[in-house]
Structure 1
């Protein structure tokens, strides 16, 4: 935060940003990692530098409250935010220790705001439960970037950015459909995430809607795992026992997919193709090597955290997005769920998470 401004002028400036005050149409580079060079020790954190013509702009302090890193994708979210902030010399990133407990996270974000951050980025442990806190922060004059798990009230955030769970299922279904287009009476199975999660339901709905375009394909089985390697192995073993033959498998999550691949190898099955979900580095390595039934994965890109830092920086500097005519950042951004196959895996390897 620029110490030369008074607290009163800071609050006025924030309110202008929150509610659409005029801003200079300056640029923002909002892509994730696209370099074809990767660091195996830091999978998913390599960043592309901002456009060379972009000026640094005014100093901005960004508060980041992310999740507990108990899953590969969640860890990648935290790493993407850290790495992205480091490429901007004028950005200071204040990070709260990740937590899956709502009460703990509320205390963390309140501490960040009381410490004087200009913009707050939150991936909430529970979007609904955190809504009132985010709403209070917005009303007090600190803009909030809501990352992925959405708050229950659009007034609780200035901008939401996240993935497309329905699109994941839709694109997985279309990829499988095209691979099996000429197979008569093709059968597919689905290894989903936990059924109590809305995102699981959205992924399944998208998958089913895509398959409806292929009358030669029937989904013959669906079982739910828990987004862990252990559950993926156990549930996949059950699926293999129940279904003696099928042509394709869609697995919602690459962490549980690692266990599914173990079960598949142990059963000696290879008559089908597998499509994963989220975009882990291990999955991409298998796709590139073409050494298993895994032929593609559908992204739920953790680079959204890097883009959230870009959005927060733009918001704190009253900038718009490079390539858009508007003077302000959008109110929401839904990221595309790209299908990564052997044809394009080189491009996406740097975004793969460990």
Structure 2
């Protein structure tokens, strides 16, 4: 998961992560007879009908986390839905030199479009620039390159929005409780995304003067770290009302620690959208009551965008002839009321 794109850049906000990119890319209906003569000419838009063949190169990091594996799955499955798309996908690596080599191989193969989720956006900026200079447009997925010249379009999640929505959800649940106390199980503090999630959470809590954050502990996005760090939080905090955990994978470990401690006196909100979290929310038999999405379906949307770009088409529902330069996905809150809607998007 990744740093957020610079907020001053123009962004297109999706209303919900569950809305498929296929729906976004369907053709617009023609203007009716009552439309003004001054209306914009209809742009050619991408749809599901076979068109110009497009070879898409896809390069991502090693799938050593449930969310990253779901990124690869979403890319492959979306590409299969198009008869005019050929997907060249790399093995994936967390070694920046190895990933750069994989991308250079795709450049040498002269793919039509590249979709890149860099292991390190800063370290891979130069290879993004190399592709763009070679005339191969780049869809930069999630972890943003340092230069906007290194990509044609960025699409990714909203880390600040995750924290903001988690904070507002907890705030609304506790707004009538005097002296409410919350704690936070964060991700890796070396990552900018973790800082953004915490900032969003803290900013949301400012709207609820009765709520105080009394503890914060960083973990490492793994089950093992989630269990160990949550156990420490529970030992140090005997009384609190809510927990926000940044990541559903480490949340599996956190729930183990909570169950082992026999605690059920608070509510928990997770992050990302793992299937295990959705199942626990639906069962409603643990402290986990909601999770805030960081949807891996963005990889499917990236394939849609790459196909549209390769065919020289825009997006249905928009007047412009070109795809936008930046798309930020919305961090929807999933709880028992709407979990059935999102279940199919959950990653393992």
* Fold agreement, TM-score > 0.5: yes
User: Aligned with 2:277: secondary structure?
Assistant: helix
Q: Name which of 167, 170, 177 aligns with 1:176.
A: 170
Residues 1:152 and 2:140 aligned together: no
Q: Name which of 128, 132, 137 aligns with 1:143.
A: 137
Shift of 1:136: 1.3
Aligned in 2, Cα 1:58/1:346: closer, same or farther, shift over 3 Å?
Answer: same
User: Aligned with 1:94: secondary structure?
Assistant: strand
Partner of 1:223: 217
Aligned pairs for 1:69-108 within 5 A: 69-108=63-102
8 Å CA contact retained: 1:32, 1:48: no
8 Å CA contact retained: 2:24, 2:316: no
Moved over 6 A (4+): 47-50
8 Å CA contact retained: 2:116, 2:140: yes
Shift of 1:55: 2.4
CA shift digits 1:52-96 (9 cap, x unpaired): 974221110000001201000000000000000000011000001
Shift of 1:261: 0.2
CA shift digits 1:278-315 (9 cap, x unpaired): 00000000001101000000000000000000000000
User: Aligned with 1:120: secondary structure?
Assistant: strand
Partner of 2:232: 238
Quote the Cα distance in structure 2 between the aligned partners of 1:272 and 1:242: 15
User: Aligned with 1:129: secondary structure?
Assistant: coil
User: Aligned with 2:232: secondary structure?
Assistant: helix
Shift of 1:242: 0.3
Quote the Cα distance in structure 2 between the aligned partners of 1:197 and 1:79: 24
Q: Name which of 197, 205, 211 aligns with 2:205.
A: 211
Quote the Cα distance in structure 1 between the aligned partners of 2:134 and 2:48: 31
Structure 1 unmatched runs, 5+:
1-29, 36-46
Partner of 2:321: 327
User: Aligned with 1:196: secondary structure?
Assistant: coil
Quote the Cα distance in structure 2 between the aligned partners of 1:217 and 1:49: 39
Quote the Cα distance in structure 2 between the aligned partners of 1:142 and 1:294: 44
User: Aligned with 1:136: secondary structure?
Assistant: helix
8 Å CA contact retained: 1:277, 1:298: yes
Residue-pair matches, total: 315
8 Å CA contact retained: 2:293, 2:332: yes
RMSD: 1.8
8 Å CA contact retained: 2:16, 2:330: no
Partner of 1:266: 260
CA shift digits 1:121-172 (9 cap, x unpaired): 0000110000011101101100000000000000000000000000000000
Partner of 1:308: 302
Quote the Cα distance in structure 1 between the aligned partners of 2:85 and 2:18: 19
Structure 2 unmatched runs, 5+:
1-14, 28-46
Shift of 1:116: 2.0
Aligned in 2, Cα 1:31/1:205: closer, same or farther, shift over 3 Å?
Answer: closer
8 Å CA contact retained: 1:31, 1:307: no
Residues 1:194 and 2:188 aligned together: yes
Quote the Cα distance in structure 1 between the aligned partners of 2:343 and 2:203: 29
